[in-house]
Amino acid sequence: MNEFEITLRNHIEKIVPLTDEEFAFVLPHFKFETYSKNELMIKEGKYVNDVYFVLSGLLKLVYTDKSTKEHTVSFAMEDWWETDFEAYYTKSKSTLSLECIENTIVYSLSLENFDKLCSELQKMERFFLRKSIAGHIGSQRRILSFITSSARERYEQLLSRNPSLLQRVPKAVLASYLGVSRETLSRLFL
């Protein structure tokens, strides 16, 4: 097994144990891919075929409004999953874009292979259910943060949960994620 296969197996086994035979069944369902900094993995208006497990690198999920202003919805770094989940599960066109902030290495998983894994190996269904629940919890926390917290509090929450992001994310992108202007971010926090 190479380092990336070991990373994927260890990630899955944080939730469900796998025998060597089970992992040998799981692995071929994933596709190893590399992307360059600033490359779009998902483009708004295009169909979304895959969900991505980040092996190395950093991604941002972005919504662009009618005035072409970008809003950073989320980040994904090592050991995280990302896609436009609505477009992925409904086989529809994306309303979001997924862009590499750094050179990135991922395992991609098509919806067909996702369904196959879940139907043929109950452990994987349980794994993805747990990951989905964790994602819902994260989304609720982010929504509540915007409803109940000031920009400074959102910054401090991000700092406490993911301090390494602050060193890896450009300030303009960080400001977009926090819902403030780049100038406000500089004035208040940096």
Q: Give the 3-state secondary structure of the chain.
A: CCHHHHHHHHHHHCCCCCCHHHHHHHHHHEEEEEECCCCEEECCCCECCEEEEEEECEEEEEEECCCCCEEEEEEEECCCEECCHHHHHHCCECCCEEEECCCEEEEEEEHHHHHHHHHHCHHHHHHHHHHHHHHHHHHHHHHHHHHHCCHHHHHHHHHHHCCCHHHHCCHHHHHHHHCCCHHHHHHHHC
At 83-109, the pLDDT tens digits run 999 999 999 999 999 999 999 999 999
At 57-76, the pLDDT tens digits run 999 999 999 999 999 999 99
At 15-64, the pLDDT tens digits run 999 999 999 999 999 999 999 999 999 999 999 999 999 999 999 999 99
Average pLDDT for the chain: 94
Reported CATH class of domain 3-113: mainly beta
Whole-number percent of the chain with pLDDT over 70: 98
* pTM exceeding the 0.85 threshold for the entire prediction: yes
Higher per-residue confidence, 20 vs 187: 20
136: pLDDT strictly greater than 80: yes
140: pLDDT strictly greater than 60: yes
